[in-house]
Structure 1
Amino acid sequence: MPSAKVDLDDLTESQQLALQQFTSMTDQDLESALPILQRSEWNVQAPIAIAKFFDGESADPVAEALASSSSAPPPRPSVHRETLINGSNPHQPAWADAPDFHPAPRVVPQPEAQVANRPSFILTLLFTPFNLLSRLLATSFGLFSHVFPFLPRLCAFLFLHSPTRAGSMRSTSNRRPLNPRDTAARFIREFEEEYGSNELPFLECGYAQALDRAQKNLEFLLVILISPEHDDTSTYVRETLLSPEVVDFIKNPQNSIIVWAGSVQDSEAYQVSTALNCTKFPFTALIAHTPRTGPAAMSAIARLAGPMPPATFITKLQNSIAQCSEPLERVRAARATQQADRDLRARQNAAFERSLAQDRERARLRREAEAARELAEREVRRKAEAEEKRVRDLQQWRSWRAGLLRPEPGPDVKDATRVSLKMPSGERVVRKFAPDAEIEELYAFVECYDVLSSEVSSTSSAMKQPENFEHSYAFRLIDPLPPRKALELETGVTIRDRIGRSANLFVDMLEEDVDEEQE
């Protein structure tokens, strides 16, 4: 039976939406609207049911019964299912009996021109008759709308559902078009100026960014669309949206609700209302991720059109949230598991990279230590070889220089200089030098004394001076008589000129030579 005996809970989501649209357009009660919709096969998108209403077709019980028996969808059979745990069938998904959700498209407003091009004065004069005619027609249509109140709603409905209308219609108001973020900021500012400061967490961004955030964080997006020209807007905002219970419900973190609002005077909000099939203001839609419709699908799970008390508003939102909570919790758990796996892999990779870096650092230090050790060994070998070569060259130089020493003067040389030398070993050596012998001859005698006293002294004359060897005496001859002074090695100065006929000298080894011998 139709009319009052039809339970609205037995209607599907699409049938309830069609009933709501039909009653908003025709202002009929439910008892009269149900028979027309059933005979029109619930087709409210095309103007079949509305045309029947305006043609004056009445609700015929017999025709309604026949139409209901032929075209109405059969009621769902009440089938008892065996339950295993908590009264649920493990083979039946939790959302199997959930109503069909309408997809929520991602609306990105097209950029509009910031500067309006004014026509020239000549074009303005040419089109003046057409402007007057259009104003006359608009005035006439206004008079007809007062006589026939259903004409404006019918034209608006036909235009809204026309397949040739533009998806992104330019706003007819004089509001300056802005980017989505600035448009949201302007709406929030105007909302606060009109209704005072409030605690509603409006998002200061575009609708597309809010939809992306809700999809990414698995949150519920509450879209609020208002029309300042609507009579119920002010009452709806003050008594419903700004009521303490609604504000507390929206701000409750457990509900995971984010709010995006807009005025249909703005282009973006108008496009959103068109995409969500909004037919009555004020309009509120609750959008959430619906896993059963797709891996990244966003759907409108609740549509609240027209004014309503705060308790009804909260109840409808709670029921819609409860329908999608379980699938969203599974998706959240799956994402949390995936994130935990990614974090674990990231920590493992970081630990592996640290271990690899430590191994590389140890290998580098080992290579550097090995290179330093090899360098030190090469330096030691080089110094040893250089020292060996220096000793060989020094020995060769001594042998060569010993062969060049002038022989000791005989007794017949009366001007010879007698020198008594105390060697570093403590041995006392006395030798005469020719009167014209230079001081270098005395130093050479001390340097070559070991060679002269050895058995190879006879072959010293055959030695050659070593190549690339610069000899320097590692000792000084000191005169111990006061004042104590050193016999410096000077070129062109004879021994007799410096010390006279005789002198007692001792050999003083230089500190550098002593340090090298100790080392």
Structure 2
Amino acid sequence: MADVDISSLSEDQQLALQQFTSVTDQDLAAAVPLLQKCQWNAQIAITRFFDGDADTVDPAAEVARAPPPPVDSRRSETLMDNFPSRHSSRAARRGLEPAPRVVPTPESQMTQSMPFPFNILLLPFNITYTIFQRIFGTIGYLFPFLPRLLSRFYSGRALQPSRDTGRRPLNPTDTSARFMREFEEEYGVTHGTLPFHEGGYAQAFDIAKRDLKHLLVILLSPEHDDTAPFVRDTLLSPDLVEYIKNPTNNILLWAGTVQDAEAYQVANALNVTRFPFATLIAHTPSVSSTAMSKIATSAGPVTAQDLISKFDAAIASHKEELDRLRAQRQEQQASRSLRQEQESAYERSLAQDREKARRRKEEEAAREKAEREERERGERKADLARKLAQWRRWRAQSVPGEPGADVADAVRMSIRLPSGERVIRKFRAEADLEELYAFVECYDLVKEDAAVEEEKETVEPEGYEHVYKYQLVSPMPREVYDLEKGGSLKERIGRSGNLIVEKIVGEDDDTDESDDEETI
């Protein structure tokens, strides 16, 4: 498919397409068919793309084996859920914990308000819940140790992330922008002090996996007393800020507060039991070709130097295999670029050959056309010359002879031909002016009576209308005797006349000038 209409896809399909292209860096024409085969499941499509078995494994079977989504509107999808069990065992032997990929909740699945009648029925319960919440909030503010004490008896965790139900759920990009704005306002830092990723966790996860970067995830909970000291003394420490911004470490920073839905989902997926929480996620080729694992984790208060030492040791332990994978990808990219350049050069050469063939064909067609036109022009010229010769023979035999001496009313004409020869001849007084023109035209034939006698049987050519290409002019005073006015010789010229033959040569008659001079 050359063109892909994005508007024809549903919102979930567009989200899956965005996730797949951000990880694999594929164009839309190649991404859409694979996603269609995988039932628009982005995690399966990404897995099959990197494993290279998109054509051998049936993605529909994988979709059928995938676990059903939870009833809750919030949904967590990870690439690790579909990995074979040997990957998990291999990660466990290396002391690594898989890092899931959390898909943000689509807006279509956001929790919506209940209908108005149900709100009326539940109004007493909502009021009672709000009153008890305010009372317990006040007690917790006056006695901070009570929430931490009670939380030890809640489920099996030491601490449980909470969410502010009053915060409006937003899409991942807007949620990230709101977190950075609140972070800068609360701790008095300028924008860009920490290079937070301006997007969702899934997008940062995909970028880190595609570019082989280390994804540093920071999760904060404003309800915990250790959050503010951790941010001021550790997270905003000049040493840690410089370490994160150092391009040689290839760190991509993403942070969030568990008051937001996406960060709350990430905290649950990463099994967070204590806040503030920091973990370093990287691609681990030793586990599988697509695995992302937590290579270093810190929960609770920690100094900046300890955090830097822990991250530095984790990065160093995985540096060799990541460098090897980067070299492989660079080699693949170089091979791909070389192949594209070769294909481009081949296409350019093919286009040049087609252009040369087109020009050669056009030149041959133009040459054939010119030859055909020249041949047709020669044929028309030859046919015209043949008909002219036939007409001259036919007209010469119809020219009356010169009147004798006994004819007293004869007109005497002195005609100087273009060749310089002067002809003196008598004509009948009542003869038409055209007869004088015909005599000049056929003079070479009528000057010998024997030649004219031999052509008695010549007939007038069909479809030919003769046009005289000269005119008879009287020099003193100058007067043109043209055929359009007609009349007899005596009426137009008188008893005698001294005439000159002047040729009338047009643009189309230039080539025939020499031939006409021979005939006159």
TM-score by length of 1: 0.74
Q: 1:39-188 counterparts in 2 under 5 A?
A: 99-110=94-105, 111=107, 112-113=110-111, 115=113, 117=115, 122-124=120-122, 127=125, 131=129, 150-157=149-156, 171-188=163-180
Q: Shift in Å at residue 121 of structure 1?
A: 6.9
How far apart, in 2, do the equivalents of 1:149 and 1:371 lie? Answer: 93
Q: Which residue of 2 aligns with 1:357?
A: 351
Q: Shift in Å at residue 173 of structure 1?
A: 2.4
Q: Against the structure 1 CA distance between its residues 384 and 341, is the aligned structure 2 distance closer, same or farther, given a 3 Å change threshold?
A: same
Q: Which residue of 1 aligns with 2:437?
A: 443
**Higher deviation after alignment, 300-309 or 261-270:** 300-309
1:214 aligns with 2:208: yes
How far apart, in 2, do the equivalents of 1:237 and 1:170 lie? Answer: 19
Amino acid across the alignment from 2:414: S
Give per-residue Cα distances to partners, 1:273-312, cap 9 Å, x unaligned.
Answer: 1111111100001111111111121111111111111111
Q: Aligned match of 2:189 in 197, 217, 232?
A: 197
Q: Aligned match of 1:475 in 470, 478, 481?
A: 470
Q: Aligned match of 2:286 in 292, 307, 318?
A: 292
Preserved CA contact (<8 Å) 1:160 1:274: no
How far apart, in 2, do the equivalents of 1:467 and 1:148 lie? Answer: 123
Q: Compute the RMSD of aligned alpha carbons.
A: 3.1
How far apart, in 2, do the equivalents of 1:367 and 1:204 lie? Answer: 58
Q: Secondary structure at the match of 1:373?
A: helix
Amino acid across the alignment from 1:155: Y
Q: 1:243-392 counterparts in 2 under 5 A?
A: 243-392=237-386
Preserved CA contact (<8 Å) 2:216 2:281: yes
How far apart, in 2, do the equivalents of 1:245 and 1:500 lie? Answer: 127
Amino acid across the alignment from 1:438: D
Q: Shift in Å at residue 485 of structure 1?
A: 2.5
Amino acid across the alignment from 2:153: L
Preserved CA contact (<8 Å) 1:402 1:461: no
How far apart, in 2, do the equivalents of 1:278 and 1:172 lie? Answer: 18
How far apart, in 2, do the equivalents of 1:450 and 1:398 lie? Answer: 10
How far apart, in 2, do the equivalents of 1:239 and 1:148 lie? Answer: 25
Q: Percent identity?
A: 51
Q: Shift in Å at residue 403 of structure 1?
A: 2.2
Q: Against the structure 1 CA distance between its residues 121 and 297, is the aligned structure 2 distance closer, same or farther, given a 3 Å change threshold?
A: closer
Q: Against the structure 1 CA distance between its residues 98 and 150, is the aligned structure 2 distance closer, same or farther, given a 3 Å change threshold?
A: same
Give per-residue Cα distances to partners, 1:376-401, cap 9 Å, x unaligned.
Answer: 11111111111100000101111111
Preserved CA contact (<8 Å) 2:91 2:97: no
Q: Secondary structure at the match of 1:323?
A: helix
Preserved CA contact (<8 Å) 1:224 1:284: yes
Q: Shift in Å at residue 441 of structure 1?
A: 0.8
Q: Which residue of 2 aligns with 1:227?
A: 221
How far apart, in 1, do the equivalents of 2:202 and 2:113 lie? Answer: 25
Q: Which residue of 2 aligns with 1:404?
A: 398
Q: 1:19-38 counterparts in 2 under 5 A?
A: none
Q: Shift in Å at residue 491 of structure 1?
A: 4.5
Q: Shift in Å at residue 147 of structure 1?
A: 7.6
How far apart, in 2, do the equivalents of 1:160 and 1:310 lie? Answer: 23
Q: Shift in Å at residue 516 of structure 1?
A: 3.4
Q: Which residue of 2 aligns with 1:434?
A: 428
Q: Shift in Å at residue 469 of structure 1?
A: 1.4
How far apart, in 1, do the equivalents of 2:257 and 2:173 lie? Answer: 14
Amino acid across the alignment from 1:485: E
Q: Aligned match of 1:506 in 489, 500, 504?
A: 500
Q: Secondary structure at the match of 1:157?
A: coil
Q: Against the structure 1 CA distance between its residues 144 and 158, is the aligned structure 2 distance closer, same or farther, given a 3 Å change threshold?
A: farther
Q: Aligned match of 2:455 in 454, 460, 469?
A: 460
How far apart, in 2, do the equivalents of 1:136 and 1:244 lie? Answer: 39
How far apart, in 2, do the equivalents of 1:148 and 1:411 lie? Answer: 155
Q: Secondary structure at the match of 2:455?
A: helix
Preserved CA contact (<8 Å) 1:145 1:152: no
Q: Against the structure 1 CA distance between its residues 135 and 349, is the aligned structure 2 distance closer, same or farther, given a 3 Å change threshold?
A: closer
Q: Against the structure 1 CA distance between its residues 147 and 264, is the aligned structure 2 distance closer, same or farther, given a 3 Å change threshold?
A: closer
Q: Against the structure 1 CA distance between its residues 269 and 127, is the aligned structure 2 distance closer, same or farther, given a 3 Å change threshold?
A: closer
Give per-residue Cα distances to partners, 1:193-241, cap 9 Å, x unaligned.
Answer: 0012241110110000000000111111110000011101111101111
Q: Against the structure 1 CA distance between its residues 398 and 372, is the aligned structure 2 distance closer, same or farther, given a 3 Å change threshold?
A: same
How far apart, in 2, do the equivalents of 1:186 and 1:170 lie? Answer: 18
Q: Against the structure 1 CA distance between its residues 247 and 125, is the aligned structure 2 distance closer, same or farther, given a 3 Å change threshold?
A: closer
Amino acid across the alignment from 2:426: K
Preserved CA contact (<8 Å) 2:152 2:158: no
1:413 aligns with 2:407: yes
Q: Shift in Å at residue 113 of structure 1?
A: 3.2
Q: Which residue of 2 aligns with 1:12?
A: none
Amino acid across the alignment from 2:457: A
Q: Shift in Å at residue 267 of structure 1?
A: 0.7
Number of corresponding residues: 417
